[in-house]
Structure 1
Amino acid sequence: MTGRALILVEGSRYNGPLYVEAALQLGLKPIVLSANPAQYNYLEAKGIEAISVNTADLDALILECTRLHETYDIVGVTSVGDSFYATVGKLCGHFKLPGPNPTSIERCRNKFTQRKLLAESGVPIPHYRLAADAREIENSADEIGLPVILKPAIGAGSRGVRLCRNLDELVEHTTFLLGGQHIWKSRPKILVEEFAQGPFYWADIMGDQIIGIGSGDFGPLPHFVGRESTFPASLTDDEHERIANVSLSCLQALGLGWGPTGVELRWTKRGPVVIEVNPRLHGPPSPQLVRLAYGIDLVTEHIKLVIGDDWDLHRRHSHTAAARFLAPDRDGTLEWIGGETQAAAIPGVAEVKFYVEANTPIIRKGDIRDLMGYVVTASPTRAQTEAALHHAVEIIEWSIKPFST
């Protein structure tokens, strides 16, 4: 054996680099198994070993991990997202390593099954229906009442999610989802949901412990592209308790409680209503916000759990952290983007991250793929944090040249 290895099933340009860096800091050798390792450019930059394997084939993954075990002491298996998290649970079970319950993960990832289980347990959720064709979608929207949200029953990153405020928008998005523009990995199943209106909050949970609650908002409707996040949210004690209690009730309803869980909610006239439960950490920069605000590195603590070490979830300090996402306002070719050096030099700015480079084609899809990067700030006070964020965002500039018609 040449060292302790952490197997990562697939990666992500979002949380992927955080997991690789945390594994290295813990003295582990991260090894990524992927159907297409070349899509993760951060692996080559860090010199991370990546192996091409069919990650949709559990037997192929078992065979590859068995082969690797001849060279390395494999101390843990995990994934940076939830698409392969059930597979991770099965791998952990096979190799007798700590891991999530794959059945619970699979039930949670199917948003319809998730809604049913939450509703049966009395967790407040939006009214919903499941539809498979245009007629069922229209009938469901009529029963619930416009406006409604249409979303794939299985998916992530707000892909295919849209608010439909009238019949024309309903027909338009139905055509998009069922007419070949949206890529389905299984038979199309669509959730038609009540539009739960009110401030947006998210809870980070590790095991059965609430780490904290953040707040956020989105760009222009009808899409749900993140605009800004703040951690912790500005809440009264009663509001915090109600959101925390509802979030924890999701764990029991869905059979979760091992490792990280992210709960997204809206504060409506009914109080906190659960929009979605994800059996994973929220995407960046949420983990960075938690680390900056409370001194808790959720990625590192998750890996500790994966490899069987004791985690440490106590707060080191209590600051306020915030992030602004950088999103384009038009389609075209990104001619240039800059200002990161000047923005990063502002007191209170913790990180400036660009996902794109000059000459990148920009085609907005109305989901997480639209984001060009983000700016993160942190300080002991909310006012200082917000001021630094506003100043830094003003410095970041870019130019998008419209496509030739």
Structure 2
Amino acid sequence: MVSAIAIPVGGSHHGAHAFAAGVHEVEHGEPPQAHARRSRIADRMRAINEGLEGALPSLAGNNSGSEGGNSTKGSFQGASSLPRPFASAYTASPASFTGGGSLLGTSYGTRSSAGSLPGRELTESKPIRTNNVNIQNTEFVSLGVSPYGRSRDDVLPTLGGKLTPDVVKANFLTDAHLKKLETTYADASVQEVASSYGVTPILSPISEALKTSAKGGAAYELIHQGTHAAQELRRQVLREGAVVIITTGSMGKRFVYERLEQLGVNTYIIDGPDSWAQVLEDEGVIERFLPVDMTDSSKTLELCANAIQSLIDHDGVEVDGIATFCEIAVPLASRLAEIFGLPGNPSSAVDAARDKHATRIAVANAGLPSVQSRMLPSPETLVRLPSNHDNRIVRKKFVANMTEEHLNLDKLLEIGGQIGYPLVMKPVSGAASIGVLKVESAEKLSTAYLKVLRDVFRAKVNAGALVMGSDDEDDDVDSVANGNGGGGRSEADAAQDWPTIMLEEYLDGEEVDVDVILSEGKSVYNATSDNWPCEEPWFNETGDNAPCLLGLEIERALETVGVDCCHALGLTTGVFHVELKATSRGPRLIEVNTRMGGGPVRDINLRVNGVDLVEEHIFASVGIPCNPPFRIAVDGSEASSRRAEDRDPLDCVAGYTLNAPKTGTVTEGAEAVIMKWAEVSYVLSAEVFVHPGDKVTSKADGLPTWMGEIRVHGDTAADAKDRAEKMRDTLLAEILPFIR
């Protein structure tokens, strides 16, 4: 027999129910723990429903708005609360700019921004609580390592074996984990995997409350609108929600967690034990850091799932969503959301987006404009390998010393000829332009292949980001991006796979970024910014400006193709960073990133369009509809009565990224050359990514090193771009004497 628990809801507003009562079935005889959990969910759903009911009088008034973000005048006046773009308490340089050997990199850049807050000092650590994670057969061991100076008595769950400082070097997500994840559902369904892990699919109180809402009710209608009133209502629904974040990322992502704290989100971070999430917990920015042993990639999904289940069962946390802001963690986060039945994108769609060849196939099958591409055969076909090439150290040394004599040139040239020249060579999965190379002619194809192989083998993961390592790094820390683990990794993870490489046609025209938000399968936000010409042949970014200067017709065509490509891959929910080119033949896709864009992307959207991609991604991750007010400073303003495409930007911005103009070593004074621009009135921020003694590379010798970035604003996008370009010319000349 089955009995039902009805969740009571308050009265109606304007004659309509804010949300209908949710009904959940509870089987007689179920464990008391499960019954208690259902009761807790019912309580939270009731609180959400009643909170919406109470919020309506102050928020809704007579506001109305279309799904496109238009609104008419109403009683709610004033903008919703937003953080200040290009201003933060502390911003560290991404480790990818220096390739530091530490998990956090050897360099933390400095940043000055107009009106920014004073830097925050790292506080003294306190021990992590031991009851965070409860996993059967778990061994708790004490660590004596920390990237923050003084040792702390951390408690870390591991499955077998002792966790030593050497192991910690490799204890974070890598491509080895992704390869294991790809086979997770090969012989079992999502439900079977969850059951084997001892995981029970859960009901998200936020998502379930919205699903059981009465369509046509005042709250339901308001929460789907593109107004500030609706945005405040969405924030009220989110407040006190519980979100699990997978992988912290570099310290440059601190703004993400500070924004979640401002929104009242209870944030739990799962990461390797050396993560700086420890600091976020100590400072009270997040609710809790859950350290998980990631030395064995075959167990990482299970350990993370068990950590979340323990959070639910032992700590009574009602998890509303699972999310990430790091590229390397998207496949893991999507699978965890599937296992727990929480909102998110299908893992198959995420995998297809990360696989550039699979993306090309999906786009072509959908009848969208496609790019000619070919997969290269495995190195067993293209390379004359040594007999003991399965040995990690032998393989690394072999790749570092490979020459054309080791290549099957006929096969390589045959495939290159099928594409035509110039062409682009790139790894099927990767990031940060590592291993992406323009090849001008057949004569340069073999040299390019050798270069791409070396770069991919040198690549590693640092604080959740793929970065370029160096040839002289220790064998125990190099190439972890491809599973070549390092001290303490399992033998399976230490076997590095040869990279899968593809060739595709070189696209002419201007490159753009289109930031897309999908909600309930529909596009609710698209915004295009221009990318300046890359540092070819390496495709390193040099600058950008927003809004786009290509014209409304071209911009709309690019956005249409970008959204269609997301749909072709099967993506439905969240924030996506889509890279395209406006070619002489029309829009063409470069790639779809299944997460918020990195670097300045969030600040650009916030400053130009008034849209905070951090909160939109979290809305989507817990099942709250997204429809951000686009270029509307205040509800009821003159701008809100216009169509979205006719609204003026809230500001216009441009940024210049300083690529090292020559190869050498940075000397004293380089930082001052960049930071002096922070005093200029139209400069929004200035950042330095290198320090004296750091080695930098110019495009003549390899993937260029980013030395710094300066962002400006202007009355128009053209004005902002002109300012940044003039600054570029001056900077390039002034920085040269400080590279020896």
TM range (shorter): 0.7 to 0.9
Counterparts of 1:123-138 in structure 2, within 5 Å, are 123-131=368-376, 132-133=378-379, 134=382, 135=408, 136-138=411-413
Structure 1 distance, partners of 2:290, 2:722, is: 45
Q: Structure 1 unaligned runs (5+)? A: none
Aligned to 2:439: 164
Aligned to 1:348: 682
SS of the equivalent of 2:542 reads: strand
Cα distance per residue 1:312-354 (max 9 Å; x no partner): 4222351322111122123333224125554223223222223
Give 1:73 shift: 4.5
Aligned to 1:140: 415
Does the alignment pair 1:22 with 2:259? yes
Cα distance per residue 1:190-213 (max 9 Å; x no partner): 110111111111211000234211
1:111–1:154 CA contact under 8 A, matched in 2? yes
SS of the equivalent of 2:532 reads: strand
Greater relative contact order (CA < 8 Å, ≥ 6 in sequence):
2
Which one is further off, 131-140 or 276-285? 131-140
Which one is further off, 315-324 or 330-339? 330-339
Cα distance per residue 1:225-260 (max 9 Å; x no partner): 100111121133321222122112212211012111
Amino acid at match of 2:619: K
> In 2 relative to 1, CA 270–229 (structure 1 residues): closer, same or farther, beyond 3 Å?
same
Amino acid at match of 2:568: A
After superposition, the CA RMSD in angstroms is: 3.0
Aligned to 1:320: 652
Aligned to 1:173: 448
Given candidates 259, 283, 301, the residue that maps to 1:58 is: 301
Aligned to 1:275: 590
> In 2 relative to 1, CA 225–242 (structure 1 residues): closer, same or farther, beyond 3 Å?
same
Give 1:280 shift: 1.6
Query: TM-score of the superposition, structure 2-length normalised?
Result: 0.50
Aligned to 1:32: 269
Aligned to 2:600: 285
Which one is further off, 29-38 or 284-293? 29-38
Cα distance per residue 1:112-137 (max 9 Å; x no partner): 11111111112222210001343443
Q: Structure 2 unaligned runs (5+)? A: 1-39, 41-131, 133-239, 383-407, 460-478, 484-496, 633-648
SS of the equivalent of 1:175 reads: helix
Given candidates 486, 494, 502, the residue that maps to 1:191 is: 502
Amino acid at match of 2:260: A
Amino acid at match of 1:101: P
Aligned to 1:386: 721
Counterparts of 1:167-316 in structure 2, within 5 Å, are 167-178=442-453, 180-181=457-458, 183=479, 184-185=482-483, 186-207=497-518, 208-316=523-631
Structure 2 distance, partners of 1:96, 1:164, is: 45
Aligned to 1:331: 663
Amino acid at match of 2:431: A
1:6–1:23 CA contact under 8 A, matched in 2? no
Structure 2 distance, partners of 1:225, 1:380, is: 28
Which one is further off, 194-203 or 76-85? 76-85
Amino acid at match of 2:440: R
> In 2 relative to 1, CA 380–294 (structure 1 residues): closer, same or farther, beyond 3 Å?
farther
Structure 1 distance, partners of 2:278, 2:511, is: 33
Amino acid at match of 2:326: G
Amino acid at match of 1:161: V
Identity of aligned residues (%): 22
Q: Which one has a bigger Cα radius of gyration?
A: 2
1:125–1:275 CA contact under 8 A, matched in 2? no
1:115–1:125 CA contact under 8 A, matched in 2? yes
SS of the equivalent of 2:328 reads: coil
> In 2 relative to 1, CA 59–376 (structure 1 residues): closer, same or farther, beyond 3 Å?
same
Aligned to 2:157: none
Which one is further off, 175-184 or 298-307? 175-184
Structure 2 distance, partners of 1:4, 1:222, is: 46
> In 2 relative to 1, CA 118–383 (structure 1 residues): closer, same or farther, beyond 3 Å?
closer
Amino acid at match of 1:189: T
> In 2 relative to 1, CA 25–125 (structure 1 residues): closer, same or farther, beyond 3 Å?
same
SS of the equivalent of 1:233 reads: coil
> In 2 relative to 1, CA 355–16 (structure 1 residues): closer, same or farther, beyond 3 Å?
same
1:118–1:250 CA contact under 8 A, matched in 2? yes
Give 1:376 shift: 1.8
Structure 1 distance, partners of 2:278, 2:438, is: 34
Structure 1 distance, partners of 2:435, 2:594, is: 20
2:544–2:654 CA contact under 8 A, matched in 1? yes
Higher strand share: 1
SS of the equivalent of 1:171 reads: helix
Which one is further off, 326-335 or 175-184? 175-184
Aligned residues: 401
Cα distance per residue 1:30-61 (max 9 Å; x no partner): 34322363478985996665443245410011
Amino acid at match of 2:660: P
> In 2 relative to 1, CA 152–39 (structure 1 residues): closer, same or farther, beyond 3 Å?
farther
Cα distance per residue 1:349-390 (max 9 Å; x no partner): 2222233333333356855x8323322222442244235435
2:713–2:720 CA contact under 8 A, matched in 1? yes
Give 1:76 shift: 2.6
Structure 2 distance, partners of 1:220, 1:121, is: 32
1:290–1:296 CA contact under 8 A, matched in 2? yes
Given candidates 684, 707, 710, the residue that maps to 1:372 is: 707
